[in-house]
Structure formats: C-alpha cells, structure tokens
Amino acid sequence: MDGNQKNETPGIVKAVNSMTETQTYTIIDGRKISQDIKKEISEKVAMRKQEGKKVPHLAIILVGDDGASQTYVDHKVKACKEVGFHYTMMRFADTISEDKLMKHIDQVNRDEDVDGFIVQLPLPLNISVERITEKIRPDKDVDGFTNRNFGSIVSKNPLLLPATPFGVMELLKRYNIPTEGKNCVVVGASRLVGAPLSMMLVEEGKATVTICHKFTKDLGMFTRHADILITAVGKPGLITADMVKEGAVVIDVGTTRVEGPQYKSGFALKGDVEFKEVAPKTSYITPVPGGVGPMTIASLLLNTLRATELRNP
C-alpha cells in the first residue's frame, strides 16, 4: 500500500490526496464472499445428507498438462472437498483425439451419478472448443458454457448461468452495489465472459450497457462514462487512472500470468487494471488475485448444487 493510504477498516481504504480531500474506496473481497457462499452450500449439502438426498457430484475433465489449468483444477477439487461434494477427476493426454474426447463426454452425460461436469480450458489446438462445449448436456453444464445456457440468460427461468458472469453479479449484489439504470461499460466481448455478463447486466441488473472490444476506437472515451466499469480482456495495464470516472465501481475479471524472476513462484497474476493508480479514484474495486477469481469457483459450486436439485429435488 502507498504511504499516503491508511487501512482502518478491512476492505475499506482511506486515500488522502495532497489537496487534503479524503476519499475512501472499498476493496471488494472475493475470497470472503466465496467463503460465505461455500459455507451456505455446505450447510445445504449437510441438510441433503440428513434427509437422505443425493450428494452433489462434480466431474472435471482435464486434457494435457498445462500448469495453470492444473492449478485451477486443484482449486476446484479443494472447493468440492470443502463443501462436501463428491468429485471425479478425469485426465487425458494432450494427444487425445476430438472424437475420443467426445465419446468420454457422452459417457459422463449418461452417467446418472454425475450431476454436473466441466471440461477445463484451454484445450489442445486440434480440438474444437465449440464442438466439445456443445456436446455437454445443458443441465449438466455447470460452467454455463453451452449455447443453451447462454441463451437462457434472457429467459424467465435460466437453467445454469455462465459461472464467471454469475460470480460478478453475485459480488455486486452482496456488496449492495445497485445496477439499475447505471451506466455499465464492459470491456471484452468474449463468448465466455464479456458477452454473457453484458446480457445479465441488462436482464437482471436493468443497467444500460456498452460493450467495448478490440476494435473499439478510443476506449477511454467509453470507460470514462462508466458508473460500473468491468474489464475482461487479459491485458495487464489496459485500464489506467485517466480512463476511470471519479467514484466508479471497477470490476477486474482479467487474470494474466506474468512470469519474472522477481516473483517467488516464478509468476504473478495481473488484472487488466493498474490497481495502484486507479483504486483511489473508485468507490469499489476488485483486486487481482482475490476479487472475481474465487467467485468463479463459488458459482461453479452453486451451479452444481442447482443441477443436483433439478435432477434430484
């Protein structure tokens, strides 16, 4: 933390500038919210066990030996253990063919004991993410990646919501940050985050939403108008202080592994936002790591519980 900042209440930082004005901003604690959600889920699982109902079962398919994917999957397994879910890890070499992987997905689709499953991305280049994703049964698609679940955002009763956007909406709700009528700018129009999140902000959040992407000219012209600025690009340093309105809420979904000898583990996780210079201008901001990241796993667990409840009420 900078020398001119004092942290008196956890999560709330007082920034005093040279004009002796005092601004405060809250660092949104995704780890704490995800712990709260996991506690709520484990209570529901304990209740289901007591009532003799089926315990949620998540299967995870991992192809290849990408280090980052392995770490994410380890976190998912740990989260399953924490809340009392059953889980199955299925690993395949990166030489597996698309057809063979499709057959395994078919098997998991038909396995009555598995309530939800995910295929960890990225996949080897010879395998089509779209074909694999679309093979997943929508009512077991706990990542919310299928076209059916993307489309269900605009239905009255969504099936399983895309996990990361769901996590962002949950963070806003649990910090009592209103979205209705707000000017939201989403930077990044990806199929898995930016696009579904924009629709959820419109449908559920009743916000006015602008979607920016790599072809947007003069990004700052849009971001400076945002009451709520959400960035999901994966480009460290993209959002600087001059691009953010005073008092804005800033949600950073970008998570990039930056390697360097100065980092103990050999790498650091960086968001899209220049946190140090942007934070003092905001009212609320998510850090990276510890902001949106833990919420993706919390949403995955919520979706798995919902998938179980739908199949085995």
Q: Which stretch binds ligand GUN (CB under 6 A): 22-30, 33-41, 113-121, 170-178?
A: 113-121
Q: Phi and psi (nearest 5°) for 6?
A: -120, 135
Site for ligand GUN in 54-73 (CB under 6 A): 72
Catalytic: 214?
A: no
Output 143 or 170, the one with its CB closest to ligand GUN.
Answer: 143
Q: Which stretch binds ligand GUN (CB under 6 A): 88-96, 101-109, 115-123, 167-175?
A: 115-123
Q: Is residue 79 exposed (0-12), middle (13-18) or buried (19+ Cβ within 10 Å)?
A: buried
* 229 binds ligand GUN, rule: CB under 6 A: no
Q: Is 228 helix (H, G, I), strand (E, B) or coil?
A: strand
Length of the chain: 313
* 118 binds ligand GUN, rule: CB under 6 A: yes
* 163 binds ligand GUN, rule: CB under 6 A: yes
Nearest to 303 by CA among 171, 141, 81: 141
Helix (H) or strand (E) holding 185: strand 183-187
Q: Which of 29, 38, 115, 120 is catalytic?
A: 120
* 143 binds ligand GUN, rule: CB under 6 A: yes
Nearest to 305 by CA among 48, 91, 77, 24: 48
* 90 binds ligand GUN, rule: CB under 6 A: no
Number of other CB atoms surrounding residue 20 within 10 Å: 6
* 198 binds ligand GUN, rule: CB under 6 A: no
Which positions lie near ligand GUN, rule CB under 6 A? Answer: 72, 118-121, 143, 163-164, 296
- The catalytic residues are 76, 120, 143
